[in-house]
Amino acid sequence: MDTLFRSELIRYGEMAQACYDAFDFDPFSKYCGSCRFPRREFLAGLGMDSAGYEVTRYLYATSNINLPNFFKRSRWPQVWSKKANWIGYVAVSNDEKSRVLGRRDVTIAWRGTVTRLEWVADLMDFLRSISADKIPSPDRTVKVESGFLDLYTDKNEECHFCKYSAREQVLTEVKRLMAMYPDEEMSVTITGHSLGSALAMVSGYDIVETGINVMDDSRVVPVCVYSFSGPRVGNVRFKERVELLGLKVLRVVNVHDVVPKSPGWFFNEGVPMAVMKAAEGLGLPWCYSHVGVELALDHKSSPFLKPDADAVCAHNLEALLHLLDGFGLSSGRDHALVNKACDFLKDDYMVPPNWRQDENKGMVRGEDGRWIQPERPKLDDHPNDMYLHLSQLDLGMN
């Protein structure tokens, strides 16, 4: 693989991995479902100071949708939010990084599921017209899995964090950042793992379909999606529309991972197109097609990984990054990272499974000597001028 391209893939994979490393998924934490770090300390808190990006916005979604295993809730009666979960962030490259890249890069990173795969069973396996959720499309036959659409477009106006949909949050922030750098070459890169890659695909389509990536001087900013271990998202018409709009998609998968094989177990891109068209014509709701170019990897080729590991290991993002890096032989990426949240490395390497955790699970000793959960700084919700940005976009949102 080209050295520069390899490093690009790993960088965006690490930005997706940061969503997991920063997410508080402990039900005994009063901040369960939130990000563990304030926005301005996000990259530093994860040891990613040298990434060359500034996080400009946190993204939230309402938990009142039909993907219950995606959301995490605290057992505490008083919590930061009972209706929202943190699902990612928007970042922009700083001046130094932009000079290296040759462009000002806006990156959107979406969080996927944390450890388990139960969310796959939550997929309603029901395709819905993307235009039914106010995402513009000249063709009502362009359809996306309904759970993904709900996660992207639903909101709860009673909650500070999800009174605006994830869609509204993303589009306004991309437009705001593009307006900040009107004279520069720019790019929009969207990344995500697992269910997060489905959100990356839907938001990438939305950005190019609505024309958010068109500058005031009519220059078109390139948009691409790096999908890691992502499921199928939409039907054949969705795939064709994505290609027509020029959205570039690269899907990195482990050939032994079950998630990229769903939904659409029987009617998918592997079936002759005539059969797919006939099935869609009959109104069958489970005809799905992958989008873009696939980069298939095989964990059984790595001398570090257990060949007979379980389904969760085969879906692990750190394992994909390990494979992308040539098992650590390319840049020397530490193979111990694979076991941060699973038990995938062979026992010979003496790396304990699931080793990433907060010191003392976040408990600290108070002035009276008792162990307590410390309070965290107030979480960012939305800019005060959010409604102004929405009205300027004029996308028919309400």
Among the listed residues 194, 227, 289, 302, the single catalytic one is 194
Is residue 315 among the annotated active site residues? yes
Q: Tokens 């400009």 sit at which residue?
A: 56
Coil, strand or helix at 256: coil
Coil, strand or helix at 83: coil
Among the listed residues 150, 206, 257, 325, the single catalytic one is 257
Amino acid symbol at 302:
S
Q: Tokens 């991995």 sit at which residue?
A: 17
Torsion of Cα atoms, 10 then 14 then 20 then 23, to 10°:
-170
The widest CA-to-CA distance across the chain, in whole angstroms, is 73
Among the listed residues 299, 315, 382, 389, the single catalytic one is 315
Non-local CB neighbours of 117 within 8 Å, separated by 6+ positions = 258, 259, 311, 312, 315
- Token pair in block for residue 156: 């709860």
Is residue 257 among the annotated active site residues? yes
Is residue 131 among the annotated active site residues? no
Strands (E), 75-121: 84-93, 104-110
Q: What is the DSSP string of 265-277?
A: SSBSTTS-HHHHH
Three-state SS annotation for 310-338: CHHHHCCHHHHHHHHCCCCCCCCCCHHHH
Outline where the chain has alpha helix (H): 3-22, 42-45, 95-101, 119-122, 146-153, 166-180, 195-210, 236-245, 273-281, 311-314, 317-324, 386-393
Nearest-angstrom CA–CA distance, 268 and 286: 9
Nearest-angstrom CA–CA distance, 322 and 41: 26
Nearest-angstrom CA–CA distance, 315 and 295: 15
Outline where 282-383 has alpha helix (H): 311-314, 317-324
Query: Which are the catalytic amino acids?
Result: 194, 257, 315
